[in-house]
């Protein structure tokens, strides 16, 4: 009888559980910083049965491992491959936090809460721990090159002022009903949401987090945390929590139930060689292939030789643990298939003791009679806040850093929160398997299962896909002077590039492009250059990537990370990097070149981290420079046009003693010359600096190297650029019949910039970009057409480290040589010169757009040779 009763009770329980399980799928919102491991986690979620786990939305965390414009399109492409264009995607936003602590709608999350001001430009207190170029954001933005070579491209994309923001998506999806949040980046978006929408908290059933480390020991050094670029000052924090400690505090202390998968657990699931090899043998879906390719590149570019001991499943493990907990909610204490769980009382450290001080490090308290957000004057947020990697406060004489910002510390008392925490990964129940963790089995099974699988990759999508490189044949043609174009990939630089490519090759022979990523775009945007060159049939032009840090800006101990002292003037959001990185949403209309950024694939081609095979990876600026020098005839020289900060040129001069003797002359677009100080410069977001021009300001030390060199320098200053800033004029001039593809594209870009300028104040500086075409026009147009006149002056540039003066041009009688400055030109003819050039059928595009390319790849027997 008792048995029967027990049976009856168990069955009833099972029926109830089944009813709960079938009643509704778990709605999930994923907030991610789009690191590699993040999309592993995302694909794992997308592969689960949608009637059980329904990934409703993805919001992008924009202040960590990837950049908004690149990461949002990366996510769109993965979702397109997976047939999930229904998943909402939110990124960015323009709102700010006012001085009185009022949080405006749509804060973009580009800046941690403590430094969030009125816009999207700002310092990089925590983010400076993340490498900017190789090994960091460049790798993630491009996914080592696979984002472009593997993922198909659908119709969803970033578009200015049309892209849903992170906060909009959060509000919509959380208002719609009960939902669980998965947080696998810094907590800025979620904290801002919770602080501004307390009435919607009730809809958030649970927050699952990858982040923190309580009792963790880093396998490389015994530290709690994993900030490998910042161990010396902060050995405690984990990257996600360090990305915005104050935000993480808000989330953990929100009152919503929290489950944490911290380093304690992830450190017990290193990616073993056995797992790696098993994965290599099991790639039965596009998504499994994409993940494996990525993982392999992560291994091959790992910073040391201990990949198998120091690379872990972080976010992906969290997605497994969390969904397993949700599946087993009838069990107690978070019991699940993949991790041991424990309750602990913790908090997140946001400032360092002693509390109640005011030392200039804490914007929530310093100089305020009422602390921001009404925080308690001597409370846990009122201490010293770590200012950066080299914060002197954080160093102790014993060599062990003392800063704990972002640490998830075990505490008791009123300021602690009880959270459920994963402590270790469970062993594989099958002892005979080579996979030693239960989650490895699930991960491979789920990614390879036929359900919910990806439809195609970039090439298999098209029945007649063919990779073509377009290279012109200049045999027998007389070639003009050798020109190298150095650009920072602002919108105007692309217009200037179109123009340069249209100038007859007998006038100029554009040999190479150098990319200076210390200005208006992130390094990954180099792919837009490749695509534009492909469109114009110029896959022969080599492209070299410059250093991501300005002169004296990288960390002396670790050159992969460094300061954003000057770069912080550029907004991350609208009108700034978000738009440059996507060419205002239009980059994806360019045909896709087989050339692209690719990380060096070291292991496959020899010794670890071998740099002897530049042909197999993205060449560096200096390598490209050397190859140009080698390629020219003895006695001939090179003309350089720079359209961005002078970082790359200065670094070439410093690295190559012979460079100045082989450079004929340098045309520099930039510099503001106004001896009377009537006209201001154009440095935005640094109100104290009235008279500098952006290209000089962004790397003043590099500018000084160039000004002090023996080079023959011609400046195209801001005052001249300002004469050619009439959008309606140039748009109208481009409005002719039978437009070339390049004229059509340029007109669309200019029209979009002009409309944005009229619609929204974040775009008020669009003139700056229009003026950027001038350098290319002056360099290549004969004297009679524009009738330019120049004056020579002994000029120098301020470069002392004082941002209120750096980048300003001064008359310097001590300067041995003179700088030539464009003084006047026929600016009324200028628009005709530009438009006529783009209208010319000669040296025109060989393939007009991505759509045209898709048509060719979808149709048999269309000629793919170059049109003459």
Pairing verdict, β 819-824 and 789-793: antiparallel
In the complex, minimum distance from the CB of residue 30 to Ca ion, in angstroms, rounded to a whole number: 10
Choose between 170 and 210: whose C-beta lies nearer to Ca ion.
210
Are 64 and 137 a contacting pair, CB within 8 Å?
no
CA angle 169, 171, 175 (to 5 degrees): 120
Are 772 and 495 a contacting pair, CB within 8 Å?
yes
Strand partners, 207: 181, 258
Options 128-136, 196-204, 493-501, 614-622: segment touching Ca ion (CB under 5 A): 493-501
Told to check if 767 binds Ca ion by CB under 5 A, we report no
Choose between 315 and 579: whose C-beta lies nearer to Ca ion.
315
Ranges within 516-545 binding Ca ion (CB under 5 A):
none
Are 820 and 715 a contacting pair, CB within 8 Å?
yes
Told to check if 699 binds Ca ion by CB under 5 A, we report no
In the complex, minimum distance from the CB of residue 487 to Ca ion, in angstroms, rounded to a whole number: 6
Q: What is the dihedral of CA 161, 163, 169, 171, to 10 degrees?
A: 10
Choose between 180 and 682: whose C-beta lies nearer to Ca ion.
682
Options 167-175, 181-189, 295-303, 752-760: segment touching Ca ion (CB under 5 A): 181-189
> What CA–CA distance (Å, rounded) separates 339 from 359?
43
Please work out the total of residues on this chain that contact Ca ion, with binding judged by CB under 5 A.
Answer: 11
Options 113-121, 180-188, 569-577, 727-735: segment touching Ca ion (CB under 5 A): 180-188
Choose between 152 and 807: whose C-beta lies nearer to Ca ion.
807
Choose between 489 and 590: whose C-beta lies nearer to Ca ion.
489
Are 436 and 272 a contacting pair, CB within 8 Å?
yes
Choose between 241 and 825: whose C-beta lies nearer to Ca ion.
241
Supply φ then ψ for residue 53, to 5 degrees.
-130, 115
Binding mask 306-345 for Ca ion (x = CB under 5 A): ---------x------------------------------
In the complex, minimum distance from the CB of residue 769 to Ca ion, in angstroms, rounded to a whole number: 7
Choose between 63 and 709: whose C-beta lies nearer to Ca ion.
63
> What CA–CA distance (Å, rounded) separates 81 from 579?
24
In the complex, minimum distance from the CB of residue 332 to Ca ion, in angstroms, rounded to a whole number: 29
Q: What is the dihedral of CA 416, 419, 424, 430, to 10 degrees?
A: 170
Ranges within 566-585 binding Ca ion (CB under 5 A):
none
Choose between 31 and 391: whose C-beta lies nearer to Ca ion.
31
Q: Per the structure block, which two tokens stand in for 187?
A: 């907590």
* First CA to last CA distance, the chain: 92
Ranges within 19-58 binding Ca ion (CB under 5 A):
33, 35, 38
In the complex, minimum distance from the CB of residue 184 to Ca ion, in angstroms, rounded to a whole number: 4
Are 808 and 800 a contacting pair, CB within 8 Å?
no
Are 215 and 264 a contacting pair, CB within 8 Å?
yes
Q: Of 117, 424, 7, 133, which Cα lies nearest the Cα of 125?
A: 117
Exposed/middle/buried for residue 402 (C-beta within 10 Å: 0-12, 13-18, 19+): middle
Told to check if 775 binds Ca ion by CB under 5 A, we report no
Told to check if 244 binds Ca ion by CB under 5 A, we report no
Told to check if 493 binds Ca ion by CB under 5 A, we report yes
Are 717 and 673 a contacting pair, CB within 8 Å?
yes
In the complex, minimum distance from the CB of residue 365 to Ca ion, in angstroms, rounded to a whole number: 30
Are 365 and 378 a contacting pair, CB within 8 Å?
no
Instruction: Kindly report the three-state secondary structure assignment for every residue of 176-210.
Output: CCCEEEEEECCCHHHHHHHHHCHHHHHHEEEEEEE
In the complex, minimum distance from the CB of residue 802 to Ca ion, in angstroms, rounded to a whole number: 24
In the complex, minimum distance from the CB of residue 14 to Ca ion, in angstroms, rounded to a whole number: 37
Choose between 62 and 362: whose C-beta lies nearer to Ca ion.
62
Q: Of 662, 663, 709, 715, which Cα lies nearest the Cα of 815?
A: 709
Q: Of 303, 312, 314, 304, which Cα lies nearest the Cα of 276?
A: 312
Residue nearest to Ca ion (CB): 490
Choose between 363 and 642: whose C-beta lies nearer to Ca ion.
642
In the complex, minimum distance from the CB of residue 664 to Ca ion, in angstroms, rounded to a whole number: 22
Q: Select the residue interacting with Ca ion from 46, 72, 184, 821 (CB under 5 A).
A: 184
Q: Of 204, 241, 151, 229, which Cα lies nearest the Cα of 28?
A: 204
Choose between 48 and 186: whose C-beta lies nearer to Ca ion.
186
Choose between 364 and 491: whose C-beta lies nearer to Ca ion.
491
The CA-atom distances, in angstroms, between 325 and each of 381, 492, 598 are: 33, 52, 38
Binding mask 639-658 for Ca ion (x = CB under 5 A): ----xx--------------
Told to check if 245 binds Ca ion by CB under 5 A, we report no
In the complex, minimum distance from the CB of residue 669 to Ca ion, in angstroms, rounded to a whole number: 7
Told to check if 490 binds Ca ion by CB under 5 A, we report yes
Choose between 239 and 470: whose C-beta lies nearer to Ca ion.
239
Choose between 169 and 487: whose C-beta lies nearer to Ca ion.
487
Whether the bond into 712 is cis, omega within 30 of 0: no
Ranges within 94-133 binding Ca ion (CB under 5 A):
none
Options 145-153, 423-431, 486-494, 654-662: segment touching Ca ion (CB under 5 A): 486-494
In the complex, minimum distance from the CB of residue 212 to Ca ion, in angstroms, rounded to a whole number: 13
The CA-atom distances, in angstroms, between 740 and each of 469, 632, 737, 750, 840 are: 20, 32, 9, 15, 8
In the complex, minimum distance from the CB of residue 240 to Ca ion, in angstroms, rounded to a whole number: 6
* Contact footprint for Ca ion (CB under 5 A): 33, 35, 38, 184-185, 315, 488, 490, 493, 643-644
């Amino acid at each position: 009888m008792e048995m029967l009763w027990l049976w009856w009770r168990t069955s009833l329980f099972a029926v109830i559980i089944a009813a709960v399980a079938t009643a509704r799928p778990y709605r999930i919102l994923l907030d991610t910083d789009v690191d590699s491991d993040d999309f592993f986690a995302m694909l794992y979620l997308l592969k689960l049965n949608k009637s059980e786990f329904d990934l409703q939305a993805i919001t992008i965390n924009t202040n960590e491992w990837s950049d908004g414009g690149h990461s949002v399109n990366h996510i769109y492409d993965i979702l397109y491959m997976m047939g999930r264009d229904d998943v909402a995607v939110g990124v960015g936003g323009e709102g700010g936090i006012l001085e009185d602590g009022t949080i405006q709608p749509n804060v973009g999350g580009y800046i941690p809460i403590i430094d969030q001001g009125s816009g999207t430009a700002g310092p990089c207190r925590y983010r400076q721990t993340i490498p900017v170029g190789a090994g960091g954001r460049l790798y993630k933005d491009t996914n080592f090159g696979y984002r472009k070579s593997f993922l198909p491209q659908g119709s969803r994309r970033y578009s200015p002022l049309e892209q849903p923001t992170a906060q909009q998506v959060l509000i919509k999806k959380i208002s719609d009903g009960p939902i669980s949040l998965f947080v696998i980046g810094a907590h800025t978006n979620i904290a801002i949401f919770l602080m501004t929408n307390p009435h919607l908290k009730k809809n958030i059933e649970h927050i699952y987090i990858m982040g923190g480390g309580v009792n963790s020991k880093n396998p490389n050094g015994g530290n709690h945390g994993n900030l490998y670029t910042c161990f010396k000052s902060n050995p405690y924090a984990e990257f996600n929590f360090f990305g915005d400690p104050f935000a993480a505090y808000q989330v953990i202390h929100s009152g919503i139930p929290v489950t944490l998968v911290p380093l304690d657990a992830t450190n017990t699931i290193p990616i073993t060689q056995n797992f790696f090899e098993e994965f290599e043998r099991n790639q039965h879906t596009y998504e499994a292939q994409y993940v494996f390719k990525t993982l392999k590149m992560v291994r091959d570019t790992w910073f040391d030789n201990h990949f198998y001991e120091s690379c872990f499943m972080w976010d992906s493990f969290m997605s497994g643990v969390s969904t397993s907990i949700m599946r087993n909610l009838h069990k107690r204490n978070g019991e699940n298939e993949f991790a041991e769980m424990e309750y602990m009382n913790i908090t997140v450290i946001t400032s360092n003791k002693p509390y109640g001080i005011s030392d200039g490090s804490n914007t929530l308290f310093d100089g305020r009679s009422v602390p921001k957000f009404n925080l308690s004057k001597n409370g846990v947020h009122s201490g010293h806040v770590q200012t950066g990697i080299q914060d002197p406060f954080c160093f102790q004489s014993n060599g062990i850093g003392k800063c704990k910002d972002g640490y998830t510390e075990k505490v008791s008392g009123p300021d602690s929160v009880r959270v459920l925490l994963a402590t270790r990964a469970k062993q594989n129940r099958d002892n005979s398997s080579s996979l030693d963790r239960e989650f490895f089995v699930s991960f491979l099974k789920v990614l390879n299962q036929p359900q919910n699988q990806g439809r195609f990759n970039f090439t298999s999508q098209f029945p007649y896909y063919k990779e073509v490189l377009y290279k012109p044949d200049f045999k027998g043609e007389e070639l003009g002077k050798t020109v190298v174009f150095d650009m920072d990939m602002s919108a105007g630089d692309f217009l200037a590039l179109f123009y340069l490519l249209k100038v007859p090759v007998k006038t100029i022979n554009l040999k190479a492009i150098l990319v200076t990523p210390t200005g208006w775009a992130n390094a990954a945007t180099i792919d837009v250059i490749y695509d534009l060159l492909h469109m114009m049939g110029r896959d022969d032009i080599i492209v070299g990537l410059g250093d991501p840090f300005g002169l004296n800006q990288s960390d002396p101990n670790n050159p992969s990370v460094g300061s954003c002292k000057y770069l912080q003037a550029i907004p991350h959001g609208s009108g700034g990097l978000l738009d440059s990185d996507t060419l205002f949403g239009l980059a994806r209309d360019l045909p896709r070149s087989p050339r692209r950024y690719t990380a060096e694939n070291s292991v496959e081609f020899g010794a670890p981290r071998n740099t002897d095979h530049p042909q197999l990876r993205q060449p560096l600026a200096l390598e490209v420079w050397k190859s140009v020098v080698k390629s020219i005839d003895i006695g001939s020289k090179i003309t350089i046009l720079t359209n961005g900060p002078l970082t790359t040129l200065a670094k070439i001069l410093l690295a190559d003693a012979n460079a100045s003797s082989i450079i004929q002359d340098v045309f520099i677009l930039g510099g503001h010359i106004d001896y009377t100080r009537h006209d201001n410069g154009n440095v935005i977001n640094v109100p104290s600096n009235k008279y500098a021009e952006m290209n000089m300001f962004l790397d003043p030390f590099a500018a000084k190297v160039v000004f002090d060199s023996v080079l023959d320098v011609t400046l195209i200053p801001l005052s001249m650029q300002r004469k050619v800033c009439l959008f309606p004029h140039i748009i109208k001039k481009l409005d002719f019949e039978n437009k070339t593809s390049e004229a059509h594209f340029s007109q669309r870009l200019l029209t979009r910039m002009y409309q944005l300028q009229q619609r929204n104040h974040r775009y008020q500086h669009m003139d700056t970009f229009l003026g950027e075409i001038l350098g290319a026009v002056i360099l290549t147009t004969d004297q009679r057409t524009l009738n330019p006149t120049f004056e020579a002056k002994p000029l120098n540039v301020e470069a002392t480290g004082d941002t209120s003066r750096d980048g300003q041009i001064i008359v310097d009688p001590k300067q041995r040589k003179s700088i030539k400055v464009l003084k006047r030109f026929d600016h009324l003819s200028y628009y005709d010169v530009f438009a006529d050039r783009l209208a010319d059928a000669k040296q025109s595009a060989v393939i007009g757009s991505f759509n045209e390319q898709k048509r060719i790849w979808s149709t048999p027997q269309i000629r793919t040779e170059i049109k003459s």
